[in-house]
A and B are shown apart, each in its own frame.
Chain A
Amino acid sequence: MDLGWLVSTVSRALAFGVPLLWGTLGEIYAERSGVVNLGVEGMMILGAYAGFAVAQTLGHPGWGLLAAAAVGVVAAVWHAFLTVTLRANQYVSGLALTLFGLGLAGLLGRGWEGRPLRVPLGTITVPSLAEIPVLGPMLFVDQTILTYLGILLAVVLWVVLFRTRWGIAIRSVGESPATADSLGINVTVVRYLCVALGGLLAGVGGGYLSVAYRPSWTEGMTAGMGWIVIALTIFASWDPLQAIWGAFFFGALYHLSFRLQAYVSPELLKLMPYAFAILVLAVSGFGGARWRRRAPGSLGVPYVRGER
């Protein structure tokens, strides 16, 4: 294993981890407020489609990403409406959103299939930092701005969650909505905002795939990333900072599954991230009580103000 191999692996792991990071950060906020959104896959693919279509039409990747974010928000608000306002089962609604998203994006995307994007989001080279030997080419060359924005976002979201008034409100709503309600916090508004933020970030994550990473549109191009995001949210213990490590670790797994194709059967390798996700869930289920305790106390439970 020579150094060049390692450098390119880390570099690609970062690039591939970006959509996972954005999606996970969003899901962390939604779940911190007490709403599970299994529709991440659907929101990401809708984001990917909208991002590509808009960027291709308007000729600017920025508009594409904006459209991806907007579509993610719309899809997420629909989930919030069903689960927060109508108090529908969060798991069923999320699954429906995923199936709906995959179906709709596949249908609308037929005409765009296989065409490369005219103006993809460019990669950047961080001045001076890129000069550092080994680390420079690993971390500071050939990345899009979304890699660094994602990391910055993780830090900002961590600070907001644990060091501000809003954070206390969000975490309280996820742990004990009745308590938050009794102190005048509007549980519905907090949950809508968190779920919408989740959709925004998942949308951008999907948009990144079609506007920056590929950059083209293929049906089903998210390839189960939304499910990895759900597992990563647990893996990161609902902590934005830990999501950084988790996302790039899984990014590396994805990348390795391409790289090792020469040696191991590709079908088996493609399984790797998912097998690992299952492992994470199994460990967190068994492994114990300590892990479970970090999950928001009211996760998955619709809130109904105390009735007789």
Chain B
Amino acid sequence: MRADAGTGRPDRRPDSPPLVRLEEVTKSFPGVVANDRVTFDVRPGEVHALLGENGAGKTTLVNVLYGLYRPDSGFVLVRGRRVTIRSPREAIALGIGMVHQHFKLVLPHTVAENAALGLKGTPFWAPARGVGRRLRELSERYGLPVDPDRRVWELSAGEQQRVEILKALLRGAEVLILDEPTSVLTPQETGELFKVLSRMREEGHGVIFISHKLTEVLEVADRITVMRRGRVVGTVAAAGADKPMLARMMVGREVVFRLTKRACTPGDAALNVEGIHVRNDRGLPAVRGVSFSVCRGEIFGIAGVAGNGQRELVEALAGLRRIERGRVCILGDDVTNRSPRLLSDIGVAHVPEERIRMGIVPGLSVEENLILKRHHRPPFCRAGLLHPASVRRFAQTAIEEHGIVTSNPKTPAKLLSGGNIQKLILARELSGQPALVLAAHPTYGLDVGATEQIRELLLRQREAGAGVLLVSEDLEEVMELADRIAVMFRGEITGVVSAGEAKREEIGMMMAGEERVRG
């Protein structure tokens, strides 16, 4: 795996020994081998990317390194010395830091309190004060501006990530693990993160950069290790790699990057939203005076960094959250604050953000889940009794049509893979030709095959004359599928652009709050 050494960026030190090395690490969970004899190392002054689809075993591997999992076999070397890492505390003591995909921060506490938590050498009394000073020094040195006295819940995702990086640096991390760090960032913030990583590279840190995005891996990494189904497919120098090659390694076959999107003339309005206000779970305003409309035969994309009101907006439109002010019309009828059942009856399909919590009933069988919206009506229910033959017939057609992989229709839905659960939800929601599809993060966390299939389904709905509202954090996806794109920031729409003339940078600016209305 080291044959490629010597290429790459000028500031590399190819001959220096690795800071950490995982040797032949195997880790299995009931039913899956998450890591199968994986060997991986990172040297001082390099960014080593770990590339792979969801479920390829990237996170498991770094969790072994960070002491959260014990490997079944294989071992870890730190600076050439064999070690056993039993807990994060031991990993930290060995100079390993980790920024988890879902940040490990105590939201009600200040930045300094978060940094002081469990930190060796903090004073017993007034620990936050002493740490604040050291935080300021570090943030200057690495270009990570952050105010130690702010409370973490007030910070944007980008700022919270900086706090996580600072926490690791404060603990003397020489090796920094970043798990999908760009998934919560705007394109501009991603650029800033990459600058910080260059600075760390110059200072001699080793960075493990986990991602499934080819472009950014090529941009930031020195070496790239590709994983698929728990195994290392290969390690290549970034300088000698390109997108098609990495995609092939990642997926195991050729990948087509373009979907065919046929021309479509938008029809009447499927959805009209007029100045709605919605609160979040904490009772704070989350959607603040949002207006837009979605036509039939159109995909209307909503881009934005997570947590800017998208979730609350979709839930309000699906009838799951109270609309405080404003009006929602579907096919011309006022349906503000009507029940989810009424909305579903007039043709609203909802593909929820949390597919296991809200999309299925995990303990019910696949066929039961498939009829959930219409379980109370003929042909599935007659005189108050379920009609098993109709259910079975309907389920079998749906399973075949959507290629849902399940051992049989009676299998509990929770045993399906993420991609198949999502297909099940779409099969249920899209049957009977909806007029409006609300799709929240429909491809989040799915593998390339399932992603393609689900995007194709959404395009087909558009062609069949449904209005599609697509909410996604994946800017590429929105730009590829949508006809018009709105950007949400702090509960407001900062601009609407038509997909044809939208530029990444422009949308990125709007994601960061730059106001602009057009189209």
Contacts and interface: CB of A to CB of B under 8 A. Distances in A.
Interface of A: 163-166, 168-169, 171-172, 175-176, 178-185, 288-290, 292-293, 297, 305-306, 308
Contacts of A175: 106-109
Given A179-B105, A183-B118, A308-B29, A168 B283 contact: no
A176 B105 contact: yes
B113 interface: yes
A308 B108 CA distance: 27
A172 to B, nearest CB: 5
B88 A168 contact: no
Contacts of A164: 124-127
Interface in B124-159: 124-128
Nearest to B113: A168
Contact of A176 (B104, B119, B124, B126): B104
A180 B92 CA distance: 13
A169 B117 contact: yes
B269 to A, nearest CB: 35
A275 to B, nearest CB: 27
A291 B119 CA distance: 31
Contacts of A183: 88-89, 92, 104, 117-119, 167
Interface residues of B, number: 34
A168 B116 contact: yes
B287 interface: no
B42 to A, nearest CB: 20
Given A288-B283, A308-B29, 6 more contacts: A171-B109, A183-B117, A183-B119, A289-B283, A305-B68, A308-B34
Interface of B: 29, 32, 34, 60, 68, 87-89, 92, 98, 100, 104-109, 113-114, 116-119, 122-128, 167, 282-284
A189 to B, nearest CB: 12
B213 to A, nearest CB: 23
Contacts of A306: 68
B128 A168 contact: yes
Contacts of A182: 68, 88, 98, 100, 104
B104 A178 contact: yes
Given A180-B117, A183-B92, A165 B127 contact: yes
A180 to B, nearest CB: 7
A236 B98 CA distance: 37
B61 to A, nearest CB: 13
Nearest to B129: A163
Nearest to B55: A308
A255 B262 CA distance: 80
Contacts of B125: 163-164
Contact of A168 (B34, B87, B105, B117): B117
A184 B124 CA distance: 17
B465 to A, nearest CB: 41
A253 to B, nearest CB: 30
Contacts of B34: 308
Contacts of B29: 308
Contacts of B68: 182, 305-306
A307 to B, nearest CB: 8
B86 to A, nearest CB: 11
Nearest to B128: A168
Contacts of A184: 87-89, 92, 118
Contacts of A168: 109, 113, 116-117, 127-128
A293 B128 contact: no
Nearest to A185: B118
A297 B92 CA distance: 26
A306 B283 CA distance: 29
Given A288-B283, A289-B284, A308-B29, A172 B88 contact: no
A247 to B, nearest CB: 25
5 contacts: A165-B116, A179-B105, A181-B88, A184-B92, A289-B282
A179 B282 contact: no
Sorted nearest first, the 4 A-B pairs with minimum C-beta distance are A184-B89, A289-B283, A183-B118, A179-B104
A263 to B, nearest CB: 42
Contact of B106 (A172, A288, A305): A172
Contacts of A172: 106, 109, 113-114, 117
Interface centre among B34, B122, B123, B124 (most CB of A within 10 A): B124
A84 B60 CA distance: 26
A179 B117 contact: yes
Nearest to A176: B106
Contacts of B87: 184
Given A164-B124, A164-B127, A305-B68, A180 B107 contact: no
B32 to A, nearest CB: 8
Contact of A163 (B105, B126, B282, B284): B126
Contacts of A292: 282
